[in-house]
Structure 1
Amino acid sequence: MHLPLFSLISFLLITPVLADAPPLQIIIEANVASPMNGTATVSFPTPQNVKLLKPRTLQSDTKTSSFQFLCDGIQKANVAYEEQFSCRELQWTVTFQNVQTAPHAIANQQNLYSPAGWWSLTEWDDIPRFEGISKVEICGKVHGKTYAIKCNPLPAPNQPPLILTWGKSTKTLATGQTALTLFKDDPTSTMKAENLLALQQQLEYLQEVLGSEENAPSYIDLVWVAIDKELRQTAGAAGKQAFLANFAVTDGTATNDSIAKLHWVSAHELFHMLANQPYPLWISESLAQYYGYKSLEKAGLQTETPMEQWQIFKERYPHAATGLYEAHLNVTRENNSSYYPLFYMKGAAFWQKVDQELQKAGTSLDEVLPRIKSAASNDATLSSGTINLLKTTLSEQLVSTLQQQYLH
């Protein structure tokens, strides 16, 4: 088919405009006067037909429910997902939980509000998508405050979820191409200036080891929230270029050990965000866990080593004798998550032992990390090139012993 010259010129002129069209913005406005409820607003240039698609959810229940919102100021109820309607402006309410009025475990991935002056939103159940619109930004703002509006792209459904945090940050650390912004809820001011310095040293070390400067993310957000140690819920939640973590406190105070563990977990997630290599699951988790620990040494923080943790853990763990290759298959193919802790415990201990032996030989895991690869993208085994590299640097007998102790 041949286009007339005029039509062809028009097409060429219009196409770049469409390609550069700004993303659709969903603006979440919070208000200090009523911090537990925010208003989400979507404005279209002109009234248009809209089809809402279901938000991503953590729930296993796939039942389609209605979505309650205002359409051009009029309450619309019982509009099912994928039902078409016409609207110029959509609004709905997003709720937040006060982190200081109840012991909120970050792992639950709820929307959070801190009296320190920040809000944190996860996309689960709150951010619908729109049929035919792929470029969407989620923006956070605080009513009546001078904080700049903060916008992040809505990730694709197969990417880590959106975690957007905005409002009064504690500190922004600029390292290379990456701006790391920390938000924390620490009512008794347990965290001191030296903790921020340690975090910056960890980030700089991981960037150096991973050689990720060229492809480094432009921003990373960290959220630290205190929680009573007795609750035993000091886990975290990771999203796209964002990570939330609890740190344990006793009578409002964090111990040196709990602070070190917070830094360990935070660096574990930073490793994931900075690493460019597409590792299989066990390699990705075990390296992140080991380098989370190793970054503590660079920042002058101390806690038990991965090897020490493994020696204690294996005495009470039913799958302790299982090799990391088999554990990987059990998790990825059999969907048996009970083997997952091996990646953190046995896997990190494996890399610590490898690193120790490499240092005795005059090098380190830092030096060979770029050449650590799996046999194939869907293969849990280390590549023959990686094994031969270790055998050349160490010895065939030592590497075979490590394989039998940890991998097979």
Structure 2
Amino acid sequence: MHLPFLFLIPSLFIKPALAENPPVQIIIDVSTTTPMSGTATVTFPAPQGLRLLKPRTIRGDAKTPPIQFFCDGIQKASITYGKQLSCRELQWTVTFQNVQTAPHAIANQQNLYSPSGWWSLTEWDDIPRFEGISATEICGKVLNKAQAIKCSALPTQNEPPLILTWGKTTKTLETGQTTLTLFKDDPTSALKAENLPALQQQLAYLKALLAPEERTPNNIDLVWVAINKKLGQIAGAAGKQAFLANFAVTDGAATDDSIAKLHWVSGHELFHLLATQSYPLWISESLAQYYGYKSLEQAGLQSETPMEQWQNFQERYPHAATGLYEAHTKVTRDNNPSYYPLFYMKGAAFWQAVDQKLQKAGTSLDKVLPQIEAAAANDAALSSRTIGLLKTTLSEQVVSTLQQQYLH
């Protein structure tokens, strides 16, 4: 449910005295009259020698059309990334997809427009980086509207991607020092206001579990988009201080089950957003999936358990017998995504089984979580320290059984 994640100040000749200059801004102007096409603009006080770097991408260069840049109003037929370009003003077009005219699976991480009055931009393929620039802001703005411009710092290459959403909000919620801002596309009002406090409870639980107050983001944006349940594309995506999630509707209505799944997806993405520890892929996804479920319990929402999901899923899944360590290798080394569902299903069931055993022993996975780690950066196996801790708390036989059942 999660899938797996731009700099701009001029140039190579920055003097130390300029180091404290404000960030360079890329402003994305959109309009209600042509809402599916926006203009990105970077303006400098004087012509700058720029070296553009390719935008981050998740789709691959072969699937990504080149950006058509305008330098001081003149279209550049082709731009060679890394080659110097002198401009005072650089512009290009950014497109958005209307979430109500086509079924948009959030996991695809496209730029979205909602007729309810908001736009959501992901940096993939649309935001070039600039060599030699240490601080950049991406700003969203609606032409001829009173809403203030909304800006967010461009993440580094090693951070989760930028997801910037601006325009008409649905609701804001306060949890401790964190403000949640909700943008919702729900044409038939399938979700009611009473669904929202549960999200506050999920966030409060996961914040207490994963991040001290001083390290928790002050602002988190979330985007909820309805999608037909028949499409089977309920998913989410996390960025830096923002996440997206689909929720299922049938004939315009959301059931208790689809609302619970929406909160499960939201809890999964919140885990990714708040977790500070770096995990191998299978651990990251399986823990996020399990804690998405566990946060439901904290919010008083009911859903089938990860174990129940896995029991039903494994009956029709061809790779059900594959251990999580091997599945990790198949996905990351062999580039075989057909094993990816094991992280969500079998992985979450594994952590639920571990948690239940720990609770019977008088503790819980919540207390052990800070000590969950991999053997090494490129190793999918749990470390000997983690396995040893589990064996001490439970027993060698119990841990060995869990390993054989889920990991090997």
Q: Same fold, TM exceeding 0.5?
A: yes
Are the equivalent residues in 1 in contact too, given 2:238–2:273 (CA < 8 A)?
Answer: no
Q: Which residue of 2 aligns with 1:365?
A: 365
**How far apart, CA to CA, are the structure 2 residues paired with 1:91 and 1:375?**
47
Retained in 1: the 8 A contact 2:279–2:373? Answer: yes
Conserved? CA contact 1:65–1:81, under 8 Å: no
1:306 Cα shift? 0.2
Q: CA deviation at 1:307?
A: 0.2
1:378 is the counterpart of 2:378: yes
- Pairwise CA distance, 1:15: 6.7
Higher relative contact order (CA 8 A, sep 6+): 2
Indicate the residue corresponding to 1:196 in structure 2. Answer: 196
1:354 aligns with 2:354: yes
Contact 1:212/1:275 (8 A) holds in 2: no
The residue type paired with residue 194 of structure 1 is E
Quote the residue 1:29 is aligned against: 29
Counterpart CA distance in 1 for 2:326 and 2:125 is 35
- Aligned twin of 2:250: 250
- Separation (CA, whole Å) in 2 of partners of 1:285 and 1:63: 26
Distance 1:229 1:332 in 2: 30
8 Å CA contact 1:183–1:223 kept in 2: the answer is: yes
Match of 2:54 in 1: 54
In the TM superposition, 1:157-236 aligns within 5 A as 157-236=157-236
- Match of residue 310 from structure 2: 310
Quote the residue 1:10 is aligned against.
none
Q: Please name the residue that 2:124 is paired with.
A: 124
Q: Which amino acid aligns with 1:236?
A: G
* Pairwise CA distance, 1:224: 0.6
Name the aligned partner's letter for residue 42 of structure 2: V
Q: Deviations over 1:7-46 (max 9, x none)?
A: xxxxxxx976433222210001111222122121111121
Aligned partner of residue 273 in structure 1, secondary structure: helix
Instruction: Give CA-to-partner distance per residue, 1:179-209, whole Å, 9 cap, x none.
Output: 2221110111111122110001000001112
Q: Distance in 2 between matches of 1:391 and 1:233?
A: 39
C-alpha distance in 2 between matches for 1:170 and 1:375 = 44
2:379 partner amino acid:
D
Q: Secondary structure at the match of 2:191?
A: coil
Give the Å deviation of 1:406: 1.2
Preserved contact between residue 64 and residue 81 of structure 1 (Cα < 8 Å) = no
Alignment pair present for 1:102 and 2:91? no
> Letter of the aligned partner of 1:133 in structure 2?
I
Does structure 1 conserve the Cα–Cα contact (< 8 Å) formed by 2:203 and 2:267?
Answer: yes
CA contact (8 A) 1:66 1:77 kept: no
Residue type at the aligned position of 1:335: N
Counterpart AA for 1:131: E
What code does the residue aligned with 2:337 have?
A: S
Q: What 5-or-longer segments of structure 1 have no aligned partner?
A: 1-13
The aligned length equals 395
Unaligned segments of structure 2, at least 5 residues: 1-13
Return the index of the structure with the highest Cα Rg.
1
**Contact residue 331 and residue 337 of structure 2 kept, 8 A:** yes
The answer to whether structure 1 residue 327 and structure 2 residue 313 are counterparts is no
Structure 1 residues 176-185 or 247-256, which shifts more?
Answer: 176-185
What is the CA–CA distance in structure 2 between the aligned matches of 1:66 and 1:336, rounded to whole Å? 28
Q: Give the Cα–Cα distance (whole angstroms) in 1 for the partners of residues 389 and 81 of structure 2.
A: 54
What corresponds to 1:393 in structure 2?
393
Q: Which residue of 2 aligns with 1:87?
A: 87
Q: Tell me how far apart the structure 2 counterparts of residues 270 and 43 of structure 1 sit (CA, whole Å).
A: 35
Q: Percent identity?
A: 78
For the residues of structure 2 that align with 1:331 and 1:103, how far apart are their CA atoms?
Answer: 27
Secondary structure of the structure 1 residue equivalent to 2:213: coil
**Is the deviation greater in 69-78 or in 126-135?**
69-78
1:66–1:80 CA contact under 8 A, matched in 2:
no
User: Is the Cα–Cα contact under 8 Å of residues 212 and 276 in structure 1 kept in the other structure?
Assistant: no
Counterpart Cα distance in 2 of 1:189 and 1:20: 47
